Amino acid sequence: MSAPKGPEATPNELMVVAAARALEGRRVCFVGVGLPNIAVNLAKRTIAPQMELVYEAGVFGASPARLPLSIGDPTIVTGSTATVSMHDLFGLYLQGGRIDVGFLGGAQIDRFGNLNTTVIGDYAAPKTRLPGSGGACEIAINAKEIMVIMRQSKRSFVERLDFRTSPGHLDGAAHAERVRHDEGWLSAGPTVVVTDLAVYGFDADGEMTLRTLHPGATLDAVRESIGWKIRIPTGDVPTTPPPSAEELRLIREELDPTGAYV
Amino acid sequence: MSAPKGPEATPNELMVVAAARALEGRRVCFVGVGLPNIAVNLAKRTIAPQMELVYEAGVFGASPARLPLSIGDPTIVTGSTATVSMHDLFGLYLQGGRIDVGFLGGAQIDRFGNLNTTVIGDYAAPKTRLPGSGGACEIAINAKEIMVIMRQSKRSFVERLDFRTSPGHLDGAAHAERVRHDEGWLSAGPTVVVTDLAVYGFDADGEMTLRTLHPGATLDAVRESIGWKIRIPTGDVPTTPPPSAEELRLIREELDPTGAYV
Amino acid sequence: MSGATGSKLHTMRDAIAAHVHDGDTVAIEGFTHCISFAAGHEIIRQKRRNLTLARMTPDLIYDQMVAAGCAKKLIFSWLGNPGVGSLHAIRRRTEPSALAPGESLLEVEEYSHHGMVGRYVAGAHRLPFYPLRSYSESDLPAANPLIRQVESPYGDGKIWAVPPLNPDVAIIHAQRADAEGNVQMWGLLGCQKEAAFAAKRVIAVVEEIVPTETIRADPNRTIVPGLIVNAVVHEPFGAHPSYVQGAYDRDNAFYREWDAISREAAATDEWLREWVYEVPDRAAYIAKMDAARLRALRPTPAPSGSVDYGDYR
Amino acid sequence: MSGATGSKLHTMRDAIAAHVHDGDTVAIEGFTHCISFAAGHEIIRQKRRNLTLARMTPDLIYDQMVAAGCAKKLIFSWLGNPGVGSLHAIRRRTEPSALAPGESLLEVEEYSHHGMVGRYVAGAHRLPFYPLRSYSESDLPAANPLIRQVESPYGDGKIWAVPPLNPDVAIIHAQRADAEGNVQMWGLLGCQKEAAFAAKRVIAVVEEIVPTETIRADPNRTIVPGLIVNAVVHEPFGAHPSYVQGAYDRDNAFYREWDAISREAAATDEWLREWVYEVPDRAAYIAKMDAARLRALRPTPAPSGSVDYGDYR
């Protein structure tokens, strides 16, 4: 492959590429709106060509001919293997246990991967009214694995959520394990968080832990943009492998030619 | 109309014609297998052309080009207005309250119109194993009105059912009213029973009462083929109006040309 | 042998006048696809007030109706401009700091997507509740006390439940219907069928009126029977800026433009004046639109192909 | 951009050998329409034993499988020969007075139609129960203690419930699929979709294998995705004497003939010998049938017509 033709990869491009690569080996992916949409479509064009894209709007096995702006775009229907009612999509496919991985984002995440997409401030009199759950709450519970993609900052990576819309590892792995068992969750919870600075995993306690730093990002930048003392493994932190020329070309020329998202 | 070309109407023909006429003014009819199927198709060709035929197999607005043997015949699908899953048919159409009248039959009926289609004898060790409920139990509860068509005999019109598959007026109108209200039934219960000898209605107590005697039938024949003391109004019992030439022609030439059913 | 019961064709003006009343619970459904903006605009023009507006995704149409003062309450599961960002007019009625003098906060009643679907399903199936696996360890049940738990009768614990939703009127858009209101739809089905069956009254808005024979040639394509439809409105392009699969594309540019327009109450009012109040109907709206913009939304054909039902006689 | 994962095409012999085991709960579904007699006959030939056979309407196929000794239990909602009368082989195993020496009664677990549909729906949606309005004041709950009541969490009383049914294997017949197992069907849909999603393994039997492009040209026609299908069997005429909408008619004459054949155990055994055991596969069954009888079952065409999905790029 030739070198990227454009400028160096931007933080958003690093985020999208790292998220796409996290999907390696996954078969059935529930696609969210925005950055997850680009990441999943990039993965299908690179390391996960066999992956089936599921859109909550009611499409299984989508082959979008263009990048859809919304998750209800007509291009996800034409040429798909199955277009179904939302009752079937949420009941048979998601709750029925057919989804390997769901991608979520949010306005706030805590150290255990719990997510807030509902309000900033008090629920009854919010400072900021956010979109709410959509399918996120049930994706968090019924997809076998959750990946999170969001930009990090002290406003978004917080010690305490203003509202827990979608459960992650709750107050830690022990609590989460008990609830998952008692309430029949399919989800093993969040496994990966990809940001504009780094990739995180979750340790045995269910707490977020730094895995790799994106090229150009520093530990100081990571620490300064997280509202709790983030766990960092001892020793050298590996660098996230940089995007290939082909990945950047796909993002810049095919998936987001107008630069609207990335 | 000219006089019927064939022989005099048979008891079965009288039964089918009387049942068809009982449908006058009804809009949406749930069609059962066998004699109800013929009665409903006759009604649609005569006094109820606007009637929508609903088949539990999943068809709304059927226009069968031939008389279907089973209620799942391909002729009920082709040219229908909607063909749907059985989940939709039983959930949205029947339980959702869209059915005006359901036709039922049975091996046994009691004075309150309760029906048995499950077993003769003990349930665990039956003398005769009958087909069971099919959709009858929920039709009896969710169709707004029930009509019954069955041949009468002391074996079928019984003092006490061996098994109550589908509820009618229970132990009488007072009991039935209370249960209908408490459990949210849509059904007003059975209103008409058509046999090979007569047409019955139900009085204010919810008990079956003779309405009209078919031409040629006698009160003695009626009494001798019912296992309880049937209520007969004082005074002259009217005669069921005889079939028209056109009704007989439709049965004999169009609906049942081989005489398989009637 | 047709079950024809006569035409239910009406103008949008007459359909809204007859079936949408002040104080009603209204569900204009359609998930991204087939949203009847034409009906929403007519409700604004007819100045309906105190409506409870139910939709999974309120989308621009409820942002416009809220801005126009039609609503007192929202029932929803995702409150945003899909692919773009916020619904600013609704935010101005849900965030106390943004509230204009004299305005009150909208009531909100929120669920997840599966919960909203389940509410319509329960309403349509006449069930007292719909059970689902969601909400566990979420703050949503605390925020909405109508999200409750139900005990399984099989000894395997509790599951979450939502109550039935039975709108006074459901308004659905689709590709085609016959004059009796037998509606056929393809592409994203959303919960058009469930909302229609759950509602007390149904207005079906379609791109095309077809002969009953067209419907009856493919009965598995029917999502809603004429039996439950009160009015059929023939309104080509009636879903714009939403879309109709095979007929026109989503006008994504407008969804982005609305983000700018709706950030200020004055610009929002001005848009409503120009594109809703001073436009008598959808035909005039289309005539007012840039013809090249409209043309650019037409896709090239992608035929489904035909299947054989067989003629059995 | 296809999600192709390779062919799942197998012979019926291999599909049954791999996916149907002694003691399994098996659902060969299809309401009158699209009943896989080919699969049932292969199960008989492979001498599976102690099966729990689930079907809304056991129909002739389970009468034949019971006569052949495959079954220990039936789960059903209507036990008859539709339009004709009784299933005599099953009656001989459910009425003590008719039981042959050495034979035992079949276990029976019975519901109503809506109850059976609900059992598959609960299984497919991973729900602990399915609520429905039926059974009230019927003796069915006394006969089947798995029919229970559940309390609504909204203070409006109790409603009836059935438990989920998750067969070990569901076998569905349909008009067409691609080699990956994306199945399309039209006409009576029965509960093919729900049974397939509820099952641990799925065998899809179809009249025609089509290119993936044919499936993708009409995605709303897909009832079951390849994702949940373990084996695809190409078996033209595999539903006879049941039927396939648009392909062939129900062989009503055979349904009547079976009434006479099945009244005597010896005649039943003789029929099984001639038409199942001594026939290696469905192709041989068809070759053995009267060609004129087959031809008479073909309907004249009744095309659905094509709709436009639009090409959006």
CATH number reported for the structural domain that contains residue B91 in this entry: 3.40.1080.10
Place of tokens 């005074």: B235
| C105 within domain boundaries | no
| B257 within domain boundaries | no
Identify which of C173, C131, C136 has the alpha carbon closest to the alpha carbon of residue C154: C131
| B4 within domain boundaries | no
Domain of residue D26, residue span = 9-89+166-296
User: For residue range B139-154, what is the model confidence (pLDDT) as tens digits?
Assistant: 999 999 999 999 999 9
Tokens of A72: 């209800």
| B5 within domain boundaries | no
Specify the DSSP element, H or E, that contains B146. Answer: strand B145-149
Instruction: Report the gap between the CA of D29 and the closest CA in chain C (Å).
Output: 19
Mean pLDDT of A213-239: 96
Domains contained in chain D, number: 1
CA distance C72 to C83: 26
Full DSSP string of chain D: --------B--HHHHHHHH--TT-EEEE--SSBS--HHHHHHHHHTT--SEEEE-SS-HHHHHHHHHTT-EEEEEES--SBTTTB--HHHHTTT-GGGPPTT--PPEEEE--HHHHHHHHHHHHHT-S-EEES--TT-SHHHH-TT-EEEE-TTSS-EEEEE-----SEEEEEEEEE-TT--EE--S--TTHHHHHHHSSEEEEEEEEE--HHHHHTSGGGEEE-GGG-SEEEE-TTTTTTSBBTTTB---HHHHHHHHHHTTSHHHHHHHHIIIIIT--SHHHHHHHS-HHHHHHTPPBP-B----B--B--
CA distance D234 to D207: 6
Checking if the pLDDT of A201 tops 60, the result is yes
B66-70, C57-61, D106-110, D123-127: range with lowest mean pLDDT: B66-70
**Chains near A (3 or more Cβ pairs under 8 Å):** C, D
pLDDT category at C6 given cuts 50, 70, 90 is: confident
CA distance A75 to A79: 8
Kindly tell me the burial class for residue C53, based on how many C-beta atoms sit within 10 Å of its own C-beta (0-12, 13-18, 19 or more): buried
Q: What is the CATH number of the domain that holds C208?
A: 3.40.1080.10
| A187 within domain boundaries | yes
Instruction: Report the gap between the CA of A213 and the closest CA in chain C (Å).
Output: 28
CA distance D249 to D252: 8
Main-chain dihedrals φ then ψ at residue C160, nearest 5 degrees: -80, 160
Sign of CA dihedral A23, A28, A32, A33: positive
* A187 has a chain D CB within 8 A of its CB: no
To test the contact with chain C by mutation, choose from A37, A56, A87 the residue with the greatest count of C C-beta atoms within 10 A, namely A87
- For residue B7, list its beta bridge partners: none
| C171 within domain boundaries | yes
| C99 within domain boundaries | no
Place of tokens 């006058």: B24
CB–CB contact C78 A133 (8 Å): yes
CB–CB contact A132 C78 (8 Å): yes
| B23 within domain boundaries | yes
CA distance A25 to A21: 9
Domain of residue B113, residue span = 11-252
pLDDT category at D5 given cuts 50, 70, 90 is: low
Instruction: Report the gap between the CA of D151 and the closest CA in chain C (Å).
Output: 7
Sign of CA dihedral D178, D180, D181, D182: negative
* A155 has a chain C CB within 8 A of its CB: no
Instruction: Report the gap between the CA of B215 and the closest CA in chain D (Å).
Output: 29
| C128 within domain boundaries | no
CB–CB contact A74 C243 (8 Å): yes
Place of tokens 């909302």: C195
Q: What separation in angstroms does the CA of C73 have from each of A5, C94, D290?
A: 52, 10, 68
| D251 within domain boundaries | yes
Cα C40 to chain centroid distance, Å, stands at 9
CB–CB contact D82 B71 (8 Å): yes
| C179 within domain boundaries | yes
Identify which of D19, D21, D39 has the alpha carbon closest to the alpha carbon of residue D29: D39
Burial track D215-235 (b if 16+ CB lie within 10 A, e otherwise): bbbbbbbbbbbbbbbbbbbbb
- Respond yes or no on whether the N-terminal peptide bond of residue C241 is cis (omega within 30° of 0): yes
User: For residue range A139-184, what is the model confidence (pLDDT) as tens digits?
Assistant: 999 999 999 999 999 999 999 999 999 999 999 999 999 999 999 9
As a whole-number percent, the residues of chain D with pLDDT over 70 amount to 98
* D193 has a chain A CB within 8 A of its CB: yes
Place of tokens 């959006």: D312
Q: Which of B56, B145, B207, B247 is catalytic?
A: B56
pLDDT category at A34 given cuts 50, 70, 90 is: confident
CA distance B33 to D168: 32
Helix (H, G, I), strand (E, B) or coil at C4: coil
CA distance A109 to B55: 52
Checking if the pLDDT of B15 tops 50, the result is yes
Identify which of C68, C65, C84, B196 has the alpha carbon closest to the alpha carbon of residue C76: C65
Instruction: Record the pTM.
Output: 0.97
pLDDT category at D3 given cuts 50, 70, 90 is: very low
Helix axes C12-19, C37-45, angle to 10 degrees: 70
Spatial CB neighbours of A100, under 8 Å, sequence gap ≥ 6: A26, A27, A28, A29, A143, A144, A145
Mean pLDDT of A55-79: 92
CB–CB contact C128 D128 (8 Å): no
pLDDT category at A22 given cuts 50, 70, 90 is: very high
Tell which D residues from 82 to 101 touch B, by Cβ distance under 8 Å.
Answer: 82-84, 86, 90-91, 94-97
For β-strands C169-177 and C201-209, DSSP reports them as parallel
User: What local confidence, expressed as pLDDT, does residue C257 receive?
Assistant: 97
CB–CB contact D31 B57 (8 Å): yes
Checking if the pLDDT of A4 tops 70, the result is no
Tokens of D145: 């203690």
Find the closest chain C residue to A93 by CA distance: C114
User: What local confidence, expressed as pLDDT, does residue A76 receive?
Assistant: 95
Helix (H, G, I), strand (E, B) or coil at A199: strand
Specify the DSSP element, H or E, that contains A60. Answer: strand A59-60
Tokens of C184: 């056929």
* D243 has a chain B CB within 8 A of its CB: yes
Q: What separation in angstroms does the CA of C279 have from each of A105, C272, C286?
A: 40, 10, 10
ipTM of the modeled complex:
0.97
User: What local confidence, expressed as pLDDT, does residue B34 receive?
Assistant: 77
- Respond yes or no on whether the N-terminal peptide bond of residue A242 is cis (omega within 30° of 0): no
Sign of CA dihedral C277, C283, C288, C291: positive
| B192 within domain boundaries | yes
- Average pLDDT taken over every residue of chain A: 94
Checking if the pLDDT of A6 tops 80, the result is no
User: What local confidence, expressed as pLDDT, does residue A2 receive?
Assistant: 43
Name every chain C residue with its beta carbon within 8 A of the beta carbon of A259.
Answer: none
Helix (H, G, I), strand (E, B) or coil at C5: coil
| C157 within domain boundaries | no
Kindly tell me the burial class for residue A148, based on how many C-beta atoms sit within 10 Å of its own C-beta (0-12, 13-18, 19 or more): buried
CB–CB contact D216 A80 (8 Å): yes
| A73 within domain boundaries | yes
* B50 has a chain C CB within 8 A of its CB: yes
| A259 within domain boundaries | no
**Chains near B (3 or more Cβ pairs under 8 Å):** C, D
| C284 within domain boundaries | yes
Domains contained in chain B, number: 1
Instruction: Report the gap between the CA of A178 and the closest CA in chain D (Å).
Output: 19
**A145 classed as catalytic:** no
Helix (H, G, I), strand (E, B) or coil at A31: strand
* C194 has a chain A CB within 8 A of its CB: yes
* D186 has a chain B CB within 8 A of its CB: yes
Checking if the pLDDT of C1 tops 90, the result is no
